[in-house]
């Protein structure tokens, strides 16, 4: 038998999901997942486009220290 507290908690969780700015709303969860995938793809492409392991050699080749 459900208690009053469990019923109120379930009602609150249902209402929180419908608040437009709620991070737990289904639409915002999907947006966050989509943003995460796009950022992963962006940084992966950035890593492939710019070889970070070559930075040190490029620095010492082109920067003259006084």
The pLDDT tens digits for 27-43 are 889 999 999 999 999 99
- pTM value? 0.55
pLDDT of 4 over the 90 cut: no
Six-digit token pair at 3?
A: 């208690």
Residue 29: partners with Cβ closer than 8 Å, 6 or more residues away = 23
pLDDT of 24 over the 80 cut: no
Q: Whole-angstrom Cα distance, residue 22 to residue 28?
A: 7
Higher pLDDT, residue 8 or 65? 8
32, 34, 36, 41 alpha-carbon torsion, rounded to 10°: -170
Stretch 14-39: mean pLDDT: 86
Domain ranges of the chain: 23-66
């Amino acid at each position: 038998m459900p208690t009053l507290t469990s019923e109120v908690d379930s009602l609150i969780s249902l209402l929180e999901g419908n608040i437009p700015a709620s991070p737990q709303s289904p639409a915002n969860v999907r947006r966050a997942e989509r943003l995460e995938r796009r950022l992963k793809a962006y940084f992966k492409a950035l890593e492939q486009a710019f070889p970070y392991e070559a930075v040190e050699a490029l620095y010492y080749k082109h920067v003259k220290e006084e």
